[in-house]
Structure 1
């Protein structure tokens, strides 16, 4: 985490719990107490009015607020709904990032706006705990340009091992698919994430063709009529 993000998080923790001890802040941020002392010094240098009360902990000067954001009610509803959906349908890391982003934005709102209620709710079916972890692993593999080996169970119950160069994760309003280059078929393929039983990083099984990338994948699938939820029918999507 960047230092600026850590300091922002620290200010929000102090605001919500003041007075709060260095030990409690260290536990919540998963750093040492000495690091908290250093961060407090950094905040003071930047002009944040934080001070310690002996035997109690740290406080912010009364009336101190971060520069407020000016969100419309519709923008605030959009934010809260997006966080609700992302928290259910993505991996743990993305869900945590969505909640963290929401907390940062809400902390920057004027005080009277932070507790405003929304009338929009999401009860979208989420990933299982196992597939939340697989989603996170795939996202990391895509970012790192890393091949993966998967044990895959088709809708017909056939088990196969595939080595895939992952290019993107695609959400179809109910199902996630992995788009990538399949070493077995030497072609672009789609894989439903909820049908992946095991996943691990692996060494490249072949030299990846130069033209393989996510843009080419999307163009290929578009030409095959697989880029709309109506055509791809994700609940029935086979992998060959």
Structure 2
């Protein structure tokens, strides 16, 4: 591992800890000596990283530090490109625009050889399947409104039409939005059914965000949903 890669890895490790972590713990995780760790901490501090602490007390990286233009691996570059292209093609216009802007910002600070690798990557997102499973072309309620309700943890009152055409009025506690090949699905606790329900967004005919917040936090709902559905955390 080169020194620049080691410094980047050290930053990533520090980001995982919210409380001060002992220098020896960091050194062991990186596979380096404690003296090398102290030198690397000093180097990052000199580059502007807001790392607080000292030997014997531990270290913590304060929020808000922007990564300098260090190295990305080829795999990381391909993951970034593929992810941004997926978002640009399969989500809503607002997120698509944000994905393109984010990739442009990353490209601007990459070294020339990695910038070329990003432009030459062969990672592509295939077109949506044409037919009955194709992604919906009409979206009665903007996805941005649903994402905002999830972010603010607000209760939604929706008019929903099921597959048979029957309409119901429901109050739900939304906690996640999933993007599939054939559908976009809002995941929520349904007060009418008193259980978790999955709502196709193209069947949400109307949506009002209420002033009240969800009685349960979004993270708690997601955790409970995972447990009930035996979904490993790494898959969602």
- Report the Cα distance in structure 2 between the residues aligned to 1:210 and 1:105, rounded to whole angstroms: 33
- Report the Cα distance in structure 1 between the residues aligned to 2:214 and 2:88, rounded to whole angstroms: 37
- Residues 89 and 127, structure 1, Cα contact 8 Å, conserved in 2: no
Deviates more, 1:187-196 or 1:111-120: 111-120
- Residues 173 and 214, structure 2, Cα contact 8 Å, conserved in 1: no
Superposition deviation, residue 154 in structure 1:
0.9
TM-score (norm 2): 0.56
Superposition deviation, residue 84 in structure 1:
0.7
The 3 A distance-change label for structure 1 pair 218 and 134 is: farther
- Residues 179 and 217, structure 1, Cα contact 8 Å, conserved in 2: no
Alignment of 1:97 onto 2:106: no
| Moved beyond 4 Å, runs of 4+ | 209-212
Specify which of 135, 156, 168 is matched with residue 160 of structure 1: 168
TM-score (norm 1): 0.55
State the match for 1:123 in structure 2. 126
CA shift digits 1:38-62 (9 cap, x unpaired): xxxxxxxxxxxxxxxxxxxxxxxxx
State the match for 1:33 in structure 2. none
User: For 1:78, what is the secondary structure of its paired residue?
Assistant: helix
The 3 A distance-change label for structure 1 pair 191 and 67 is: closer
- Aligned-pair RMSD on alpha carbons? 3.1
State the match for 2:183 in structure 1. 175
Deviates more, 1:159-168 or 1:94-103: 94-103
- Report the Cα distance in structure 1 between the residues aligned to 2:110 and 2:214, rounded to whole angstroms: 51
Structure 2: gaps of 5 or more residues: 1-66, 129-134
User: For 1:202, what is the secondary structure of its paired residue?
Assistant: strand
Superposition deviation, residue 201 in structure 1:
1.0
CA shift digits 1:117-165 (9 cap, x unpaired): 222211343564636x632211110111111122211111112222111
Superposition deviation, residue 86 in structure 1:
0.7
Aligned length: 157
State the match for 1:195 in structure 2. 203
Specify which of 132, 141, 146 is matched with residue 149 of structure 2: 141
